[in-house]
Structure 1
């Protein structure tokens, strides 16, 4: 799975050209749908529809071919379709192509304009219910990116040792097996598979965890979301000692990770993380209602210029809605249109891109939970 860094996000939002195509489709991770190539068929039908719309706009066949070439290549890549998450986002234009398999359940959507559509990516840029999950045992390491509704594995074999033996050598496994045999012969047992009081064993596990932490730094260095660890209870204090990531969650997902599958781990992690997951969003929603009117707005004509000037702290967007129009940055003038046309753009997308770019938070909210329900866009301004 590819993660979208701040730099990659900015590259997408900065790109402007006469024809930019954004495609979002829900995908399945495995099972019958994958075997029947449902994901691939969904992209093909969407791209066919986009081509027809481009033709209706009198876009040249040569330009359509240039935009579609990397999409067509994806459709012919069987290996790509074997490793999907919950959603696929594609950004394609002449001379530009990016694709992301992400743990977000997109609604099927495509967008043609002179910029790319990034509003659906907001959950990946705001720590609303997003977290990393590290499932670690002495013989297995797995790393996941998750939200409240989804989970997907991030492959880190090239960054971290896959088992303790890889880090500290064969001697540990051999010594550990002898220890178990001795305990069995003597009629004693240890539920942890090694003598917890054995300092040498702890040091070897600490070395193993240090190597994992070092490898994960390559993924987590610019992140600001929680990392929760799933492991047996006795291992968690050792991992905490090795950890250097500033947002390690202080509670462990208990039990042996091998006792369940990825989705079972996700369910257990959510129980541990539940008090944290929506804390920020709840706090911001409460703030909107408590702040004085000069610190909030529900007017798109005020919010867009403020977003461009980096003055928006938090943006609430009605999830299934759009506001079409234009923005004249030089004159700070917003014009709202009744419907989409080739001459306007999504003002909600414009606001989302600028708020994320300037370090603000963007939340996609169902209409019933918007702070000001009569408006599709609400904002909290940064204090001056």
Structure 2
């Protein structure tokens, strides 16, 4: 799990929500409808109104007085007319009201409409922000344009390497190097095009590039905080093998983002880089599923909720698989380790999947949200791979 400082919901904010306990904690999740007919017709605001009514009914069931309910929910009511909020929508909106007042976040997840009232917040829908989108780096590379980014699925941050890395070939090999030996394909700029040459000239060019790239490699080594995270090159295809020859990063990704990087839109670069690297993180998930299958029917795995909930509280879970769109409500007594599961959500109940997921997150386990057909053990909403 990796969380950058410019994450859409920094870990410290999430942990503050997880630490909040008290009567009548309200959680609301909504899709925001960023474009199209739904936005023009203000469907998200109408959806929020309906959610407030649902919360109102839940608070009344907790024996809260009508006048208290209206006063308590007023900060959420005011969001309906908050033009700044709706003018700049994201994919989803998460709202939390509790002992510390109101907080809300526009986030890059299309949430299912959900309301939840308990003595804690419902945070399971936020966990995809922290899993399956691990840290990677993107190095834009040409003869006179060098940029390094720290990235994940939801973040793309310039690491500002100017103090450690030269930005031009000439600054390393000198201004008397032999550019005439590089014959660039028509229609491509000299700083990014493919090169080919003949005899000694071609060899000289490659040596000069290697000298330049070796200096870059040494510079970015001082900046990369995670030596195990994959490094993706954004460069014309001909430069990738030259850089690979001098690279010292232990996890240089075997596919580059093809093309001249200098004039590429950074939003587009982020999208392209995630498309390239996504397979890498998918493989991590598949390895965990394979590991579960190999250890099935041993004490290292579980698929019964009665085994998984206490294991999460004990910090025993290495990897938790959660089926999308499913929840289980009930109660867990930490003192006597008694678990009670109900068919429907009753007053005083909690989401047992939310509890398990949060405890797994807090204690450093991994979490994957899977479709029903992807779950290692079908017909079970949670599967767990244990550390011990």
Scaled by the length of structure 2, the TM-score of the pair is 0.70
Query: Shift in Å at residue 296 of structure 1?
Result: 1.9
CA-to-aligned-CA distance 1:141-179 (integer Å, 9 cap, x gap): 776532xxxxx554x46x637xx79x9799x89xx9999
The 5 A counterparts of 1:75-114 are 75-77=82-84, 81-82=87-88, 84=90, 86-114=91-119
Query: Shift in Å at residue 314 of structure 1?
Result: 1.8
Determine the structure 2 residue equivalent to 1:64: 73
Correspondence 1:206 to 2:199 = no
Correspondence 1:347 to 2:345 = no
> CA contact under 8 A between 1:168 and 1:204: conserved in structure 2?
no
Query: Shift in Å at residue 269 of structure 1?
Result: 4.9
Query: Shift in Å at residue 51 of structure 1?
Result: 2.0
The 5 A counterparts of 1:63-212 are 63-66=72-75, 71=79, 75-77=82-84, 81-82=87-88, 84=90, 86-126=91-131, 128=132, 130=134, 132=136, 134=138, 136=140, 138=145, 144-146=151-153, 152=154, 154=156, 156=157, 160=160, 189=184, 192-193=190-191, 202=212, 206=216, 210=219
Query: Shift in Å at residue 271 of structure 1?
Result: 4.5
Determine the structure 2 residue equivalent to 1:369: 374
Q: Structure 1 242/19 Cα, relative in aligned 2: closer, same or farther at 3 Å?
A: farther
Determine the structure 2 residue equivalent to 1:307: 312
Q: Structure 1 272/329 Cα, relative in aligned 2: closer, same or farther at 3 Å?
A: closer
> CA contact under 8 A between 1:326 and 1:345: conserved in structure 2?
yes
Determine the structure 2 residue equivalent to 1:286: 290
> CA contact under 8 A between 2:214 and 2:246: conserved in structure 1?
no
> CA contact under 8 A between 2:135 and 2:150: conserved in structure 1?
no
Q: In structure 2, which of residues 250, 255, 258 is the aligned counterpart of residue 254 of structure 1?
A: 258
Partner secondary structure for residue 363 of structure 1:
strand
Q: Structure 1 201/377 Cα, relative in aligned 2: closer, same or farther at 3 Å?
A: closer
Partner secondary structure for residue 307 of structure 1:
helix
CA distance in 1, matches of 2:117, 2:40: 21
CA distance in 2, matches of 1:253, 1:134: 9
Scaled by the length of structure 1, the TM-score of the pair is 0.71
> CA contact under 8 A between 1:160 and 1:211: conserved in structure 2?
no
> CA contact under 8 A between 2:233 and 2:240: conserved in structure 1?
no
CA distance in 2, matches of 1:141, 1:98: 34
CA-to-aligned-CA distance 1:285-304 (integer Å, 9 cap, x gap): 22323223322222212211
Partner secondary structure for residue 353 of structure 1:
helix
Query: Shift in Å at residue 224 of structure 1?
Result: 7.9
Query: Shift in Å at residue 355 of structure 1?
Result: 0.8
Determine the structure 2 residue equivalent to 1:11: 16
- As a proportion of its length, which structure holds more helix? 1
Determine the structure 2 residue equivalent to 1:149: none
Q: Structure 1 342/102 Cα, relative in aligned 2: closer, same or farther at 3 Å?
A: same
CA-to-aligned-CA distance 1:47-75 (integer Å, 9 cap, x gap): 32232123222352221124555x458x3
Query: Shift in Å at residue 12 of structure 1?
Result: 2.0
Partner secondary structure for residue 22 of structure 1:
strand
Correspondence 1:44 to 2:48 = no
CA distance in 2, matches of 1:371, 1:238: 40
Unaligned runs of 5+ in 1: 147-151
RMSD value over aligned CA atoms? 4.6
* Mean Cα deviation higher: 51-60 or 296-305: 51-60
